[in-house]
């Protein structure tokens, strides 16, 4: 998983002289990022969200969803069908 916080202006002139800044990334509780996920600057991922392998998260993801793809998109909500009963 890669957290990319650095960003830069689109205009080439300030980039030429080295202007760069950073934006925060916020990851909620119990988020499951699969292998190879890239999270871009300024993104928030909500609690309990699962991000599929190789996804590139360019925009905020809400809580309680499965997201995947490039760019990452919500494919479904996490619900009762996902409940796992731990055997006793």
- The CA distance from 69 to 67, in Å, is 7
Please say if 8 is a catalytic residue. yes
**What's the DSSP call for residue 28?**
-
- The CA distance from 58 to 17, in Å, is 26
Catalytic residue among 1, 8, 60, 71: 8
Instruction: List the catalytic residues.
Output: 8
């Amino acid at each position: 998983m890669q957290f990319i916080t650095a960003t830069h202006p689109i205009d080439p002139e300030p980039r030429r002289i080295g202007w760069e800044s950073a934006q925060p990334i916020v990851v909620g509780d119990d988020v499951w990022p699969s292998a190879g996920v890239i999270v871009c600057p300024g993104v928030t991922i909500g609690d309990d969200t699962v991000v599929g392998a190789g996804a590139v998260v360019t925009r905020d993801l809400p809580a309680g969803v499965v997201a995947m793809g490039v760019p990452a998109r919500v494919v479904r909500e996490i619900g009762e069908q996902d409940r796992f009963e731990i055997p006793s």
